[in-house]
Amino acid sequence: MPKTAAKKPAKKPAKSAAKKTAKKTAKKPAQKPAQKPAKKPAKTAAKKPAKSAAKAPAKSAAQKSAKAPAKKPAKKKMLFKPGDFVVYPTHGVGKVTSVEIQEIAGHKLKLFVISFESERMTLRVPVSKATTSGLRKLSSRRMMDTAMETLKGRARVKRTMWSRRAQEYEAKINSGDPLAIAEVVRDLHRKAGQPDQSFSERQIFESARDRLAHELAAVDRIDLEAATEKMEDLLKAA
């Protein structure tokens, strides 16, 4: 009896202690928390920002180009419309009768159709070249008042050859500037008691007077005869 009682208790505690230590070391969860935090930050820090930075702009650009409708070119406002009075430098005052499109040398051009009653002619000016050609609106009333004041001034005649002065006068008339044209009318006008004009002087004077009178008539909305008489009165009063 004493031998069996001493052997059995000595073996059981040794086995249970070994088993418990083996189970504890095998079931310890110390490795799992250490691995998970190391993997998750690496994925979120390295992969997610790279995807958002690379793909987001590409998607937004593609969506904009696909969804955004094509913009229509803005229509340019026409400088003149049918019924407007205009001034062309070498022809004076005319009236825009229409705006038409013609095909010239395989290209379609939009043209202002301008009628000049004084010269009994019709001129077609490309819309794209209206500004560079010198085509302009009528002068303002203030500008015409300044031109009329110029007629009251004293004539300024240069002491140069007539051929050179004639070229200068022609250039002023063809400039279309009412102030420059008024200077020609003032300088070539002859009062009573002054020497008569030569034939070429008379031609240039009448050309400048008629050019200025047509614009004055259009600005003041009077007929050509009334505008010419108004200018003659100012020249006589000077």
Q: CA angle 46-51-52, nearest 5°?
A: 110
Q: Which two tokens stand for residue 221?
A: 């909305």
Across residues 38-55, what is the average pLDDT? Answer: 48
Phi-psi label, residue 85: left if phi above 0, alpha if psi -120 to 50, beta otherwise: beta
Across residues 220-238, what is the average pLDDT? Answer: 93
**Band of pLDDT at residue 76, cut at 50, 70 and 90:** low
Domains along the chain with CATH numbers: 85-137 (2.40.10.170), 141-237 (1.20.58.1290)
SS3 131: coil
Looking only at the bridges linking them, the beta strands covering 121-126 and 107-116 are antiparallel
Give the span between the Cα atoms of 39 and 58, in whole angstroms: 29
Residues contacting 228, CB < 8 A, separation 6+: 209, 210, 213
Predicted confidence (pLDDT) per residue in 161-184, tens digit: 999 999 999 999 999 999 999 999
Q: Residue 74, Cβ neighbours under 10 Å: how many?
A: 6
**Band of pLDDT at residue 78, cut at 50, 70 and 90:** confident
**Residues 121 and 104: beta-carbon distance below 8 Å:** no
- Among 52-56, 130-134, 188-192, 214-218, name the most confident range: 214-218
Cα dihedral 208, 214, 216, 219 sign: negative
